[in-house]
Structure 1
Amino acid sequence: MPAEERLTELPGLPGTPGYAHAVTVSGRLAFVSGQVAVDATGRVVGVDDLAAQTRQALSNLHHVISVFGADWSDVVKFTWYVLDVSDVQTIRDVRDEMLRPVLGELHNPASTLVQVAGLFGPDFLVEVEAVVSIPDQASDV
């Protein structure tokens, strides 16, 4: 697996609450554009529902990375953009619901969360982008 090491504990820094400080990789990387809560027809999913929007955005992200033969264990870093950081636990809960079956006891990828004044559509509450280490057996896309 190209995502080789998840650095979670360092002298002089507090432990991470479920994510890695850094992840080392080998091989090719994919930089996945931010995904939001839209369905296949482009309609917003989960208006005013952060959990539903997070689930849909992660589903869309997973759809993109699966084209490369990648899965959640190949995600090196997430960057989250949210309108309101006070409900970050909802994002964490949905993230864990979706990633735990693949990651098991591994820490989540490195992660950054940024509160923003707005996203590209007025109904969006969250957007997530990722850096993904492409598995060696993946074909060119």
Structure 2
Amino acid sequence: MSTHLTRVQAPEGLAPGTGYSHVVWGSGRFVAVSGQCAFDEERRVVGVGDPGAQARRVFENIRRCLESAGATFEDVVKLTYFVTDIAHLGPVRTARDEVFDPERLPASSAVQVSALILPELLVEIEAYAIVPEDRV
């Protein structure tokens, strides 16, 4: 379990976040992962028409990016979700819960957008992480 991060689900005067922490902070090396879409290694779209399948691929792509920086999902402090339909958030959250400890969720924002880079894409997610000093 990561101890370099502090997560506050409900600061005084705020209702607890549902599926996110209101505030996360820590010490270490900052890592920014660009918005990831459901592309495979050949830049083919995975899960056309299926937001859950796309979200699972997006989290796999984020995992690979984090690993390249010496980070894990445990180090993620912030996620931003971009979805073409807010109804996709349910399947996206299900995919998120497959890779994050539900008791240690990052801060999050969700935005419905009119389109992503290709019309087949339904979900894009960016991530910020802090890698602890002992792994820097």
Residue 129 of structure 2: aligned partner: 132
Residue 80 of structure 1: aligned partner: 81
Deviation at 1:39, TM superposition (A): 0.4
1:124 maps to amino acid:
L
Residue 31 of structure 1: aligned partner: 32
Name the SS for the 1:43 alignment partner.
coil
Query: 5+ unaligned residues in a row in structure 1: which ranges?
Result: none
Tell me how large the CA RMSD over aligned residues is: 1.5
How many aligned residue pairs are there? 135
The reply to whether residue 56 of structure 1 matches residue 57 of structure 2 is yes
Of the structure 1 ranges 126-135 and 110-119, higher mean CA displacement relative to structure 2 is found in 126-135
* C-alpha contact (below 8 Å) 2:84/2:123 kept by paired residues: yes
* C-alpha contact (below 8 Å) 2:86/2:112 kept by paired residues: yes
Name the SS for the 2:115 alignment partner.
coil
2:40 maps to amino acid:
D
1:82 maps to amino acid:
V
Name the SS for the 2:47 alignment partner.
coil
Name the SS for the 1:121 alignment partner.
coil
Query: 5+ unaligned residues in a row in structure 2: which ranges?
Result: none
Deviation at 1:135, TM superposition (A): 3.0
Deviation at 1:61, TM superposition (A): 0.5
Deviation at 1:30, TM superposition (A): 1.0
Residue 69 of structure 2: aligned partner: 68
Kindly, what percent of the aligned residue pairs are identical? 39
Provide the C-alpha distance between the structure 2 equivalents of 1:10 and 1:136, rounded to a whole number of angstroms: 26
Deviations 1:13-54 (A, max 9, x none): 111112100101112101110000000111000000000000
Provide the C-alpha distance between the structure 1 equivalents of 2:117 and 2:3, rounded to a whole number of angstroms: 33
The reply to whether residue 16 of structure 1 matches residue 10 of structure 2 is no
Provide the C-alpha distance between the structure 2 equivalents of 1:10 and 1:89, rounded to a whole number of angstroms: 25
TM-score, with structure 1 as normaliser = 0.89
Residue 110 of structure 2: aligned partner: 113
Stretches of 4+ moved more than 4 A in 1? Answer: none
TM-score, with structure 2 as normaliser = 0.92
